[in-house]
Amino acid sequence: MKLVFLGPPGAGKGTIAAKAKDVYSIPHISTGDLFRDNIKRETELGKKVKAILAAGDLVPDEVTIAMVKDRLASDDASNGFILDGFPRTIAQADALETISSLDKVVNFVLDKEDIIRRLSGRRVCKSTGRTYHILYNPPKVEGIDDETGEPLIQRDDDKEEAIRNRLEVYEASTAPLISYYREKGLLVDIDASASPDEVLKSMVDALR
Ligand code: AP5
């Protein structure tokens, strides 16, 4: 199964992808996670994109496309993948067409109030990227990762100003992909407002 997860920041793409990868036995490829891993390891790429991510702007297309092309060439992606956060521009979508076919594009739909609630309450484990929410998916011990015992942090781009910018960037650059993929007959809309397990179930049912 070759899937793209589309949707505004905080719609739950990463949360659902972490579950769906086991349902379909395919890798979860998040461009945001790949960039954050490079930032953590202080690679050349990481140094180049650090300030861009913190502000909630988009990394230039050529950098992002090269990274995804490289990742999709790995053996584990040969039978399928979930692309989470890519493509995010029409130019990226055009490039993806030259790299791989797609089975479906899942569009996670969530209103703005819920998006802001989810992003402002998100906490993550820096070393593993595991995601929590202070209300909807709290860790067993407040502020501590369930498995590593490390303190949880708030992503730089989950601060108020960066959230506002990410929503504007989404509307300007990424939302046009909804009609792009609808016209190709690939789009499946999923209501992302229910619990993660319910969202997963409605997606799996819709893809059947
Ligand atoms: P990225 O990491 O992709 O950020 P994003 O698209 O803004 O998505 P998020 O990770 O914020 O949200 P999500 O939809 O995965 O939600 P989540 O599951 O975490 O990208 C970060 C940055 O990298 C970009 O801003 C850009 O700079 C750069 N970048 C990445 N890709 C790029 C590209 N292609 N081109 C250029 N630049 C790129 O859930 C959010 C919260 O809600 C969590 O706390 C979670 O616990 C909670 N939650 C989730 N689902 C539910 C539910 N059903 N009910 C209740 N709570 C829920």
Interval 19-55: pLDDT, tens: 999 999 999 999 999 999 999 999 999 999 999 999 9
For 15-165, list the strands marked E by DSSP. 28-30, 81-84, 104-109, 122-125, 131-133, 152-153
Which pLDDT score, from 0 to 100, does residue 10 have? 95
Tokens of 139: 């860790």
d(CA 56, CA 142): 27
Low-confidence ranges of the chain (pLDDT < 70): none
44, 47, 48, 54 alpha-carbon torsion, rounded to 10°: 150
DSSP 8: -
Residue with tokens 């960037």: 169
- Cα(11) to ligand 1 centroid in Å equals 7
- On the question of a cis peptide bond just before residue 87, with omega within 30 degrees of 0, the verdict is yes
**Nearest Cα residue to 15 out of 208, 197, 206:** 197
Structure tokens at 149: 């015992």
Close Cβ partners of 149 (under 8 Å, ≥ 6 residues apart): none
Backbone phi, psi, residue 95, to 5°: -65, -40
DSSP β-ladder status, 122-125 and 131-133: antiparallel
Q: Which residues contact ligand 1 via a Cβ below 6 A? A: 7, 9-15, 30-32, 35, 52-53, 56-59, 64, 85-86, 88, 92, 118, 121-122, 131-133, 136-137, 157, 166, 195-196, 199
Cα–Cα dist 118/157, whole Å: 13
Q: For residues 22 and 203, what is the distance between their CA atoms, to the nearest angstrom?
A: 14
Residues that are catalytic: 13, 88, 122, 155, 166
Cα–Cα distance measured from residue 25 to residue 39, given in angstroms and rounded to the nearest whole number = 28
pLDDT score recorded for residue 127: 87
Backbone angles phi, psi at 202, to 5 degrees: -65, -30
Identify the pLDDT of residue 104: 98
The pLDDT of residue 187 is 98
3-state secondary structure of 79: coil
Q: In whole angstroms, give the CA distance from residue 84 to residue 31.
A: 7
